[in-house]
Chain A
Amino acid sequence: MNPVHMRVENLTMAYGDHVIQRDLNFAINQGDVFIIMGGSGCGKSTLLRHLIGLQQPAAGEIYFQQHGFWQASEQDRLAMTRRMGVLYQSGALFSSLTLAENIALPIAEFTALQEKEIAELVSFKLALVGLAGFENYYPSEISGGMQKRAGLARAMALDPEILLFDEPSAGLDPISARLLDDLIIQLSEALRTTIVVVTHELASIFAIGANSVFLDAESKTMLATGAPSHLLHKSDNPKIIQFLTRGEQTR
Chain B
Amino acid sequence: MNDSAAQSQQQATGEVHLHQLDGVLRIEFIGDWTQSARIKDKPDVSVILQRSVAMQKVRFETDQLHCWDSRLPAYLMPLLKALQTQKINVDTGNLPSGVQALLALAMAVPERGDTGKASQPVGLLSQLGISVISTIANAKLLLTFIGETQIAFWQFFRGRARVRAADFFLCLQAAGPEALPIVTLISLLVGLILAFVGAIQLALFGAQIFIADLVGLGTVREMGALMTAVIMSGRTGAAYAAQLGTMQVNQEIDAIKTMGISATEFLVLPRISALVLMMPLLCLYANVIGILGGALVTVSAFDVSLIQYFNETVKAVHLPDFMIGLFKSAVFALLIATAGCMRGMQCGRSASAVGDATTAAVVDSIVYIVIADSVITLICDQLGI
Contact = CB atoms under 8 A, between A and B. Distances in A.
Contacts of B249: 95
Contacts of A187: 102, 105
Interface in A99-136: 107, 111-113, 117, 120-121, 123-125, 127-128, 130, 132-136
Interface stretch (A11-19, A33-41, A188-196, A228-236): A188-196
B117 interface: yes
Contacts of A107: 35
Contact of A96 (B98, B105, B113, B352): B352
A164 interface: no
B383 interface: no
A209 interface: no
Contact of A137 (B108, B111, B115, B349): B115
Given A111-B36, A124-B106, A128-B102, A95 B1 contact: no
Interface of B is mostly: helix
Contacts of B353: 95-96
A136 B111 CA distance: 13
B14 interface: no
Interface stretch (B71-79, B158-166, B175-183, B257-265): B71-79
Nearest to B69: A159
Q: Name which of A120, A134, A189 has the most chain B CB atoms within 10 A of its CB.
A: A120
Contacts of A136: 115, 117-119
Contacts of B110: 132
B370 interface: no
A43 interface: no
Q: Interface of chain A, helix or strand or loop or mixed?
A: loop
Contacts of B109: 127, 130, 132
A191 B35 contact: no
Contact of A158 (B6, B35, B101): B35
Contact of A95 (B36, B75, B351): B351
B35 A159 contact: yes
Given A96-B352, A136-B117, A191 B71 contact: no
A32 B16 CA distance: 33
Given A95-B249, A111-B35, A133-B112, A138 B70 contact: no
B31 interface: no
A186 B105 contact: yes
Contacts, number: 103
A10 interface: no
A50 B113 CA distance: 42
A128 B352 contact: no
A190 B101 contact: yes
A132 B117 contact: no
Nearest to A182: B105
A140 interface: yes
Contacts of A191: 1, 69-70, 98, 102
B105 A139 contact: no
Given A96-B352, A128-B106, A140-B348, A123 B77 contact: yes
B350 A139 contact: yes
Contacts of B35: 107, 111, 113, 121, 158-159
A134 B115 contact: yes
B107 interface: yes
Interface string A174-203: 000000000100110111100000000000
A94 B350 CA distance: 8
Contacts of B71: 113, 117, 121
Nearest to A159: B69
Interface of B: 1, 6, 34-36, 38, 69-71, 73-75, 77-78, 98-99, 101-102, 105-113, 115, 117-119, 249, 348-353
Given A132-B110, A140-B349, A190-B101, 19 more contacts: A94-B351, A95-B249, A112-B38, A121-B74, A124-B106, A125-B74, A127-B111, A128-B105, A130-B109, A132-B109, A132-B111, A133-B117, A135-B117, A136-B117, A136-B118, A137-B115, A138-B349, A138-B350, A191-B1
Interface of A: 83, 94-96, 107, 111-113, 117, 120-121, 123-125, 127-128, 130, 132-140, 156, 158-159, 161, 183, 186-187, 189-192
9 contacts: A95-B352, A113-B35, A121-B70, A121-B74, A124-B73, A135-B117, A140-B349, A190-B102, A192-B98
